[in-house]
Chains A and B, each alone.
Chain A
Amino acid sequence: MSIPIFVISVLTVAGALAAMTLKNTIHCVLALTVAFAGVALLFLGLDAQFVGFAQILVYIGAVVILVVFAVLLTRSSETPEEGSHSRTWFTGLAISAGVFAVLGWAVLASVNGLPNETAAPDVNVHKIGNALMGRYVLPLEIVALLLTAATIGAVIVAMHEKARTK
């Protein structure tokens, strides 16, 4: 492992840990941003430009802002005295450990299944675009449909509440 990748990994994990342990909810969100940025840098370090920038654009530009809005527009924006730790932390820990174990097992198992490539594959944005518009056009359309359905669903939920208050 090269030194930059190591530093970025430590930063990412530290950000994620801080996101769990800090008391103030907004501080947690900012720490989570550090973790997201670290993941983006990891992608860039692995020469995956498109995914890295998409990670920054989507996660730091949109997801974090969404989380911030959710925190500020609900009553949890004021941090309680004893902090915002959940009482069911043990269950949460068990579930996340389980998910991590499954993911780790899948990643480790996939190493043997893949052909052992010696040279780094030459992937540029042009090729990714062609693949998305050619071979993978159906999954792309399905994702688009799913997102549209989710948006319409969100609008309907919001509208329902408005009609009730009248």
Chain B
Amino acid sequence: MIQTLDQIFVLFKNWLVGFLPAGWQVAAGVVLCVIAIIAVYPALFAIAVLLERKGLGRMQNRYGPNRVGPFGLFQPVADGIKALVKEDIVPLRADRVVHFLAPVVLVPIVFMGFAVLPMGRHMVLVNMDSGLLFFFAMGASTELAVFMAGWSSRNKYSLLGAMRAIAQMISYEVVLLLSSVAVVMIAGSLSLVKIVESQNHYTGIFPHWYVFTPWGLAGFLIFVVASTAETNRSPFDLPEGESEIVAGYFTEYSGFKFALFFLGEYVEMFAVAALGTTLFLGGWTAPFSFLGWVPTWIWFFAKILTWICVFIWFRGTLPRLRQDQLMNFAWKFVLPFSLLNLVVVALWRFLGPGWEQWVICSAILLVAYVVMGRTAFTLKNIGPRKYRYAE
């Protein structure tokens, strides 16, 4: 019974495919999986948007949407209909072809990343040998769509937003890659399925997730920062800072094209959260050994939703960074620290199991963190603020 519930989607797919002649079964299976991915994540998008608006509302001491349906639950439906029937306005001087192509390029690329993510035991579309590389290749391609949107609109705010977005995404992508390489070094594989399986062990009741090691914790924190920046979420939402440049690169998009950008942004957020879950939080494995009877896909989606809630919490709490702070933080603090983390991972690997590796690795990371933080603070001359008045 537990086994059946765990594999229910796989069994359902096999049952459906079984009606077809043998030659068609593989292709039909792939199509079914793709349909499932394209159906599930937009549904999650609707839930996440509602959660975000409700949660932010509570954090800002207001109600949030509460008019459409009970507790405003049908707000996403209303929003979707509104986006569909709205007039699609293209600026007169815009480059019409590129302006149209930008969202069309963005959305499929964003969905591609899910092809290699294991969403439960045996629930992966393609178990690719170089899955992580595929994920990052797809992630890197979204920058081009952002640029196309910003440039083709012929609007200075759009172009500024696109340039900001590209600069930010390139900087933090390096960090994102480096923090993931740490996991690859220990797991010894680029396949995300194997990375999850290498974390599926328990000591007592506690799992062997990579986040519970010194280098894993450091890598996880770096990954969270970099993924927030990579998805243009607050506090790194400069590319669409509404107080400065209207809405950044999608200022000139309206109606359904705007909805596509909105969807793309959220799906990218899910993809990055899913990757972080897979790399550091054990993917679909249960947090305690005695909870192994809960279906694996429940754990996977629960972890993603938790991650989304943390993103929302960030957005409700932190103020927006300045562009120079953002760049300095990426290149002068996070990047050196993630490089050091790679060295620590190598040390961890060669010291072998025992208490020494815990003490030495934790000590190096802690000392480096404190020293780098202190030096950065003294160099910045941060102290009591001096006020200057016009005399």
Contacts and interface: CB of A to CB of B under 8 A. Distances in A.
Interface of A: 24, 26-27, 30, 33, 49-50, 53-54, 56-57, 60-62, 64-65, 68-69, 72, 124-126
Nearest to B148: A30
B139 to A, nearest CB: 8
B144 A57 contact: no
B225 interface: no
Contacts of A64: 144
B133 A54 contact: yes
B141 A60 contact: yes
Contact of A30 (B98, B134, B141, B170): B98
Contacts of B129: 49, 124-126
A64 B269 CA distance: 24
Contact of A65 (B95, B130, B166): B166
Nearest to A73: B163
B140 interface: yes
Given A33-B144, A68-B147, A57 B136 contact: yes
6 contacts: A24-B95, A49-B130, A54-B137, A56-B140, A72-B151, A124-B129
A156 B178 CA distance: 26
B162 to A, nearest CB: 9
Interface residues of B, number: 25
Nearest to B184: A129
B143 A61 contact: yes
B254 interface: no
B189 interface: yes
Interface string B154-182: 00000100010010001001000000000
A65 B143 contact: yes
A65 B335 CA distance: 20
Contacts of B128: 49
B151 A61 contact: no
Q: Which of B95, B134, B137, B170 lies at the interface centre, i.e. has the most chain A CB atoms within 10 A of its CB? A: B137
A65 B128 CA distance: 27
B190 interface: yes
Nearest to B140: A61
A60 B136 contact: no
Given A50-B130, A56-B137, A125-B129, 20 more contacts: A24-B95, A26-B98, A26-B151, A30-B148, A49-B130, A53-B130, A53-B133, A53-B137, A54-B133, A54-B137, A57-B133, A61-B141, A61-B173, A64-B144, A65-B166, A68-B166, A69-B166, A72-B151, A125-B130, A125-B190
A50 B140 contact: no
A57 B137 contact: yes
Interface in B88-124: 95, 98
A72 B147 CA distance: 11
Contacts of B170: 62, 65
Contacts of B133: 49-50, 53-54, 57, 125
Contacts of A33: 144
B230 to A, nearest CB: 12
B21 to A, nearest CB: 23
Contacts of A56: 137-138, 140-141
A125 B134 CA distance: 12
**4 closest pairs, A vs B, by CB?**
A61-B140, A56-B137, A53-B133, A53-B137
Contact of A62 (B95, B130, B138, B140): B140
Contacts of B189: 126
Contacts of A69: 166
A60 B130 contact: no
A26 B189 CA distance: 39
A61 B169 CA distance: 10
B140 A57 contact: yes
Contacts of B140: 56-57, 60-62
